[in-house]
Structure 1
Amino acid sequence: MSEPQRVEQGQKRVRAVLGGRVVADTRRPVLVWEWPYYPTYHLPAADTDLEGVPDEAVRRVRLEVGGTPADLVRIDWDAVDQWFEEDEPVVVHARDPYVRIDALPSSRHVEVAVDGVVIADSHRPTILFETRLPPRYYLPLTDVRLDLLRPSGTVTHCPYKGSAEYWSVQLPDGTVHDDLLWTYRAPLPESIRVAGLVAVWTEKVDLTLDGEPQPRVQTHFRVP
């Protein structure tokens, strides 16, 4: 492992389950930022029982935590069936304790266009502000061109918001743009204000905010 960007003692109980058996259970997780966007769990070796976990999915490391050396185990996220923080399942990756989500009702004018065709126009967005990410504009379905939407079957997951379902856009000329919009039908509690609203990949569409065209954003996400 390259030198971690940050190492911090976690405060939550963390468990990993594989095949119905708990293979890790600790109240002393260590959060290690191997890259800037979120931490990985590193667990005290004494709090693990790794029978059944593939050897190649396990890395044993020794790190200083608060000035004290610790023998830790890093388990690849997908090598187990489920992770828990306390008694709540966690998906995709460990949660960053420094990420904040604010979903704020707004009266700003949001217009979304694809290839010159306006697919959404709203004066009542809910703007989701998430640490280290650009704002996301969640719009009422009634402010979106529903006649242009086609369910895509794509589902993605977020440890802070939950599971998102996607739509593609079919323009009047027949051109299809895959997975441009998504919605969280049953988001996690911290994101409940965006339930049933529709957001768009501002990386892939033309966004006008209060009459001013916005540059397309660039993020670290692999856009579907």
Structure 2
Amino acid sequence: MQARGRVKIEPGTRRVRVYLGGALVADTLAPVYVWEVPYYPAYYIPRADVKVELIASGNTDHSPSRGEATLYTVKSGDKEAVDAARIYHDSPLEELRDLVRFDFAAMDAWFEEDEEIYVHPRSPYTRVDVLGSSRHVRVEIDGVTVAESANARLLFETGLPTRYYLPKTAVRMDLLEPSSTHTACPYKGEASYYSVRVGDKLHEDVVWYYDTPLPESQKVAGLVAFYNEKVDTFVDGVLQPRPKTHFS
């Protein structure tokens, strides 16, 4: 891996395909991981592997580390995505000059090999493990026990606190209210949420669950987890410190 300032660059070996409007936008065996932010990479695609015409929109965007980007409109099938591709033709990072970065959300679908990926590319340095545990886990909100189990599944994800997934039979479901919030994770899938009402106070979106998680996280299907950052979690009787994350 090469690091230049805040940007890390690493060649990938997975086949990556990008689709828009039902048509193939790019198909490469030589994707490049670029960490524009510390948490996850973006895919940059060799220009030779782009299958559609990119139309310069006349707009540019400047990055302190990557330089000036020329923005392009992507026309594919029956769709058009304005400013959804960028090329850093004169980047101070030479490795980027002949690569195209497509806006992940602006495309209809991305595939690594034959499996669709979501939200953003999965980092090769992030691992998710789900382990059964007999440790006694108890969750309190405002002094009220809302969940308690000695049959939790612990999810360990690189860079995040341990998450305690509990069976719904161990949760005070009478205190939970369904939320309209949904989020997506490239490693676990789409999450749905509950809020918790204790007395007159509603604690919004502090509980989540995956009905149909992605294959590597199947063992948490149907279980619920609480934001450690927002509730009091006791493990084997010991109150755990509330972690400080971007979810706090």
Specify the alignment match of 2:131 in structure 1.
104
Contact 2:182–2:193 (8 Å) recurs in 1: yes
Give per-residue Cα distances to partners, 1:29-67, cap 9 Å, x unaligned: 0001112111100010111124425453322135455xx
Specify the alignment match of 1:209 in structure 2.
235
CA distance in 1, matches of 2:86, 2:222: 41
TM-score normalised by the chain length of structure 2: 0.82
Contact 1:44–1:70 (8 Å) recurs in 2: no
Specify the alignment match of 1:29 in structure 2.
31
Give per-residue Cα distances to partners, 1:169-201, cap 9 Å, x unaligned: 112x23211111111111111111111111111
Amino acid at match of 1:42: Y
Amino acid at match of 2:176: L
Contact 2:156–2:162 (8 Å) recurs in 1: yes
Q: 1:146 and 2:168 equivalent?
A: no
Specify the alignment match of 1:135 in structure 2.
162
Specify the alignment match of 1:40 in structure 2.
42
Name which of 10, 13, 16 aligns with 2:12.
10
Specify the alignment match of 1:199 in structure 2.
225
Name which of 122, 131, 135 aligns with 1:95.
122
Q: Whose strand proportion is higher, 1 or 2?
A: 2
1:175-194 pair list within 5 angstroms: 175-194=201-220
CA distance in 2, matches of 1:55, 1:163: 27
Superposed displacement of residue 4, structure 1: 4.6
**Percent pairwise identity:** 55
Specify the alignment match of 2:142 in structure 1.
115
More moved, 129-138 vs 78-87: 78-87
- What RMSD over aligned residues (CA atoms) do the two structures have, in Å? 1.8
CA distance in 2, matches of 1:64, 1:112: 51
In the alignment, structure 2 segments of 5+ residues that lack a partner are: 55-73
CA distance in 1, matches of 2:13, 2:82: 27
Contact 1:4–1:32 (8 Å) recurs in 2: no
CA distance in 2, matches of 1:117, 1:57: 48
More moved, 50-59 vs 29-38: 50-59
TM-score normalised by the chain length of structure 1: 0.90
Specify the alignment match of 1:220 in structure 2.
246
CA distance in 2, matches of 1:33, 1:133: 18
In the alignment, structure 1 segments of 5+ residues that lack a partner are: none
Amino acid at match of 1:38: Y
Larger gyration radius, structure 1 or structure 2:
2
Specify the alignment match of 1:86 in structure 2.
113
Contact 1:44–1:72 (8 Å) recurs in 2: yes
Superposed displacement of residue 149, structure 1: 0.9
SS of the residue corresponding to residue 193 of structure 1 reads: helix
Superposed displacement of residue 220, structure 1: 2.9
Contact 2:87–2:97 (8 Å) recurs in 1: no
Corresponding residue pairs, total = 217
SS of the residue corresponding to residue 142 of structure 1 reads: helix
CA distance in 1, matches of 2:99, 2:46: 4
